[in-house]
Amino acid sequence: MREIRLKGRGVYSGIAEGEALVTKTALPGYGGVDPETGNIIDIFHELYGTNIVNKIMVIRGAKGSSGWAETFHIARLLGTTPAGIVFTKMTSKICLGIVAMKRPAITDLETDPFEIIETGDHVILDGNKGEVTIFKEV
């Protein structure tokens, strides 16, 4: 295993670990994710049908209305949220969703995460330190 560490800015504290799920496409909250199942239900999204539960989502950001807060609050209550989020575009939508999820989140990485992290990589987020550790198969 090859280990890569990236520094960024912690948005929500805590430590999360899991398999990366990467998309460069922003995701709507309301109409984008089914909070009961954790499936991406936006038929226009590249990850349509993919489940986000316990994944480390690497995403550009949120789009649409403020549905992220409601969708991910319900998902947290039902246990269907991602384990954590790495994102590149800060907006009030994604910030509200992260606070509603209460899951570690990191942004403003020193390197573009889309150039390093791939779906399936094992990732550890440390929201306290603003650190992302990626484990890649050699």
Cα–Cα dist 59/24, whole Å: 6
Helix, strand, or coil here: 115?
A: helix
DSSP annotation of 18: E
From the list 13, 65, 66, 92, the catalytic residue is 65
Return the bridge partners of 3, or none. 135
What are the residues whose beta carbons fall under 8 Å from the beta carbon of 16, sequence distance 6 or more? 56, 83, 84, 103, 104, 124, 125, 127
Cα–Cα dist 21/55, whole Å: 6
Pairing of strands 15-23, 122-126: antiparallel
Active site residue 92: no
Helix (H) or strand (E) holding 73: helix 67-78
**Which sequence positions are flagged as catalytic?**
65
